[in-house]
């Protein structure tokens, strides 16, 4: 038997949206409604006839509603195999009535945590009876229909209308799969809260990480790969989890990966002056701060206009019309901003393929959290790189101390280098990147590549000299040899910021002194692989 007529439904929901309409539809098809507490009241308030669960169990709801559905009269009606003679006999012997439909959604645990509730309130919002009913109904989906999402109410109604009050096995199987995913996510959220928030564990023995599908993507890193965006239960504000795509083609895996890289970097300047980040293949190719976004964008673009073609742009202010006009001069894949004014939206509306993403805010760069990367046969977890350096943390190690402007540029370059793939070298001058070298197998080559980019930019824009002349240079990790530093000297850098800690620090410092450079150590590195 595949089609099962629904004669009795048990409804117990935390989210009351769509409940009255569903109850009315079920009642119109002659379904007996059984319910609990607030759900029963909501149905009665809608003018529907409802039986209390206590009438079925012959036992009152008690302990502030903690005990109401955990009863053989309920679970026997859910778990009985209807074509098993022994099960049918047991139902008859104990007066257990069949329950054909269960509509349940669970206590709002995640919302309770998100609002900053006290521990006792969080514990009270751990649902027990709901998941038990969901699992029982889903297990017995051959005979029982389980619905856990209000978004499926209309589909259930249509299914029953088409089947003269019955549901098909295919529908019940689909709803059962969705139900188990819902309880798995719910349990994972609770386990995660206990481990990370309540117990303060960074790496618990068993790790449950609940993710929910946000959207399907155009494709993965390459068109022959498929991809989807999944979001955690407790996503940070201002992140791509909150994004709203205003216009443009569907997003691909690469679009979101690059957009995240741009957003994380521009967030470092959330409290700073107007700043623009241009990213290509997850590496920044131009970063600049200015008096306004349009001047910052032009300075960032001049850092590497070749790489900027087809790039991703992120800004730390609401996007305005003049900046949108400037961006529109070259091909850009995605623009991320906290918001955008009507003038900016109108400019981009002419660029049908350009994706405009609004996040409402920027993520907190100092937030905690975990990073995940899969490897063959497993996964690597680590805490986020939220290390931060201030002027007070810096140690001058050369004979010459950096000037105030050199120090400002050092910290700017250091902030950018944190977001560049290792080995990372970043030259900066007057709040703009002058050259970026990324992802090389040795630090010397990164320094040379960044210098070459600066020379090319000077030739492109007709400058008398590259912006690396008199710049500050940041290295994401220590210089293992003096050759990388000497490449920076050749590029014209006058100040250096690096972690220090090499066996050859003395050799590197001596080379800096000989060249008249100022150098500071941070004591912290920022590898990014």
Q: pLDDT of the chain along its 529 residues, tens only?
A: 589 899 999 999 999 999 999 999 999 999 999 998 889 999 999 999 999 888 776 666 666 666 666 677 787 888 888 888 888 888 888 888 889 999 999 999 999 998 899 999 999 999 888 899 899 999 999 999 999 999 999 999 999 999 999 999 999 999 999 999 999 999 999 999 999 888 988 888 888 888 888 889 999 999 999 999 998 877 777 788 778 899 999 999 999 999 999 999 999 999 999 999 999 999 999 999 999 999 999 999 999 999 999 999 999 999 999 999 999 999 999 999 999 999 999 999 999 999 999 999 999 999 888 888 889 999 898 989 999 999 999 999 999 999 999 999 999 999 999 999 999 999 999 999 999 999 999 999 999 999 999 999 999 999 999 999 999 999 999 999 999 999 999 999 999 999 999 999 999 999 999 999 999 999 999 999 9
Cβ pair 230, 212 in contact under 8 A: yes
CB 418 within 8 A of CB 476: yes
Please tell me the predicted confidence (pLDDT) of residue 69.
67
The catalytic site residues sit at 139, 281
Q: Cβ neighbours of residue 242 under 8 Å, at least 6 residues apart?
A: 235, 359, 360, 361
255/39 Cα distance (integer angstroms): 44
**Four-CA torsion 135, 137, 138, 141, nearest 10 degrees:** 160
Angle in degrees, CA 351, 286, 467, rounded to 5? 130
Rounded Cα distance, 288 and 299, in Å: 6
Could you say which DSSP state residue 87 is in?
H
Residues contacting 432, CB < 8 A, separation 6+ = 286, 287, 288, 289, 299, 300, 302, 303, 467
User: Residue 68's pLDDT is what?
Assistant: 60
Looking at residue 282, what is its pLDDT?
94
Helix (H, G, I), strand (E, B) or coil at 221: coil
């Amino acid at each position: 038997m595949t089609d099962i007529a629904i004669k009795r439904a048990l409804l117990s929901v935390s989210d009351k949206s769509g409940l009255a309409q569903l109850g009315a539809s079920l009642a119109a098809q002659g379904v007996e409604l059984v319910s609990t507490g607030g759900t029963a009241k909501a149905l009665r308030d809608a003018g529907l006839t409802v039986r209390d669960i206590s009438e079925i169990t012959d036992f009152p709801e008690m302990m502030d509603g903690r005990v109401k559905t955990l009863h053989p009269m309920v679970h026997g009606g859910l778990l009985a195999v209807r074509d098993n003679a022994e099960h049918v006999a047991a139902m008859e012997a104990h007066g257990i009535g069949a329950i054909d439909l269960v509509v349940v959604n669970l206590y709002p645990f995640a919302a309770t945590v998100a609002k900053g509730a006290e521990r006792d309130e969080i514990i009270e919002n751990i649902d027990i009876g709901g998941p038990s009913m969901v699992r029982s109904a889903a297990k017995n989906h051959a005979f029982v229909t389980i619905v856990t999402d209000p978004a499926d109410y209309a589909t259930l109604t249509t299914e029953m209308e088409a089947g003269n009050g019955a549901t098909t096995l295919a529908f019940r199987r689909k709803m059962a799969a969705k139900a188990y995913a819902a309880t798995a996510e719910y349990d994972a959220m609770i386990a995660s809260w206990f481990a990370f928030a309540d117990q303060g564990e960074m790496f618990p023995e068993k790790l449950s990480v609940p993710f929910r599908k946000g959207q399907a993507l155009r494709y993965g890193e390459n068109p022959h790969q498929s991809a989807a965006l999944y979001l955690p239960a407790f996503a940070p504000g201002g992140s791509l989890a909150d994004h709203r795509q205003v216009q443009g083609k569907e997003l691909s895996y690469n679009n979101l990966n690059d957009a995240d890289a741009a957003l994380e970097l521009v967030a470092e300047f959330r409290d700073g002056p107007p700043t623009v980040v241009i990213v290509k293949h997850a590496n920044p190719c131009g970063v600049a701060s200015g008096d306004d976004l349009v001047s910052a964008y032009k300075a960032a673009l001049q850092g590497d206009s070749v790489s900027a073609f087809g790039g991703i742009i992120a800004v730390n202010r609401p996007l305005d019309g003049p900046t949108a006009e400037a961006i529109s001069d070259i091909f850009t894949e995605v623009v991320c901003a906290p918001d955008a004014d009507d003038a900016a939206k109108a400019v981009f509306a002419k660029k049908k393929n350009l994706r405009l993403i609004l996040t409402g805010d920027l993520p907190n760069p100092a937030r905690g959290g975990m990073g995940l990367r899969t490897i063959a046969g497993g996964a690597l977890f680590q805490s986020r790189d939220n290390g931060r350096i201030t002027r007070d943390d810096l140690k001058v190690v050369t004979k010459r101390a950096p000037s105030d402007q050199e120090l400002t540029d050092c910290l700017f370059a250091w902030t950018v280098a944190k977001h560049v793939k290792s080995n990372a070298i970043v030259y900066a001058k007057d709040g703009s990147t002058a050259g970026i070298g990324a992802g090389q197998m040795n630090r010397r080559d990164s320094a040379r590549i960044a210098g070459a980019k600066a020379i090319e930019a000077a030739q492109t824009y007709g400058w008398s000299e590259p912006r690396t002349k008199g710049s500050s240079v940041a290295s994401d990790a220590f210089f293992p040899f003096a050759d990388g530093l000497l490449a920076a000297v050749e590029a014209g850098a006058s100040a250096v910021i690096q972690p220090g800690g090499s066996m050859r620090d003395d050799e590197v410092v001596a080379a800096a002194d000989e060249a008249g450079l100022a150098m500071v150590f941070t004591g912290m590195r920022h590898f990014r692989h």
